[in-house]
Amino acid sequence: MFFEESPLKDLTVLVVDDETDMLEAVEDELMMCILHKASDYETALQYLLGYKYDIVILDIMGVRGFDLLRVSVSQGFPTVIFTAYALTMDALKKTIQLGAVFFLPKEKLPELKDFLEKLVRDKWKSNWMGFFDRLGFYFSRHFGPDWKEKDKFFKEFEESLIQGSEIKKDKK
């Protein structure tokens, strides 16, 4: 049986969370990576300004995650929001608007490696459409079955994703 080596192998990853058990859990999931961990805003900011990262994983609550997201994206780092307590439609919207590549609920930790591997294989093309397809049931359970229709932003965002994918198909 042939096992493909993870595309995450030896990538440099910054993970920021104020919960040390979550930092350790992410470390266990991403053992193949070179991992830097920060449990507060100041340490994370120093890392973001002092190193180059292949991936940045940010919690929102307790570490000023949206402020760090702005810095990370401005540095050109593919950034993932990984949260539990800030799992709201507003947080998801802000995540998209600020340029994160995706938003993963912490209870989906076992899928973190798979999501990151897919993003690396796809050369960091933000795949929000695939993300919504894969986790749409999860958000429907938390926000209601018509959550995308309830908010003009999500409705327009999804329409733009559909139009973008149709344009790509036409060019092929």
CA dist 33 and 101 (Å) reads 19
Asked if pLDDT for residue 59 goes beyond 90, the answer is yes
Q: Which helix (H) or strand (E) holds 91?
A: helix 89-98
Specify the pTM.
0.85
CA dist 144 and 32 (Å) reads 37
pLDDT digits (tens, 9 = 90+) for 103-156: 888 888 999 999 899 889 887 766 677 777 777 777 788 778 887 788 888 888
Q: What does the pLDDT average to over 31-38?
A: 97
The pLDDT score that the predictor gives to residue 165 is 57
The pLDDT score that the predictor gives to residue 122 is 82
pLDDT digits (tens, 9 = 90+) for 76-99: 999 999 988 667 788 888 999 999
Under DSSP, is residue 75 helix (H, G, I), strand (E, B) or coil? Answer: coil
User: Which CATH topology does 1-124 take?
Assistant: Rossmann fold (3.40.50)
Under DSSP, is residue 102 helix (H, G, I), strand (E, B) or coil? Answer: strand
The pLDDT score that the predictor gives to residue 171 is 46
The pLDDT score that the predictor gives to residue 2 is 53
Buried/exposed 51-61: b ≥16 CB within 10 Å, e otherwise: eebbbbbbbbe
Ordered by start, the domain boundaries in the chain are 1-124, 127-172
Average pLDDT, the chain: 86
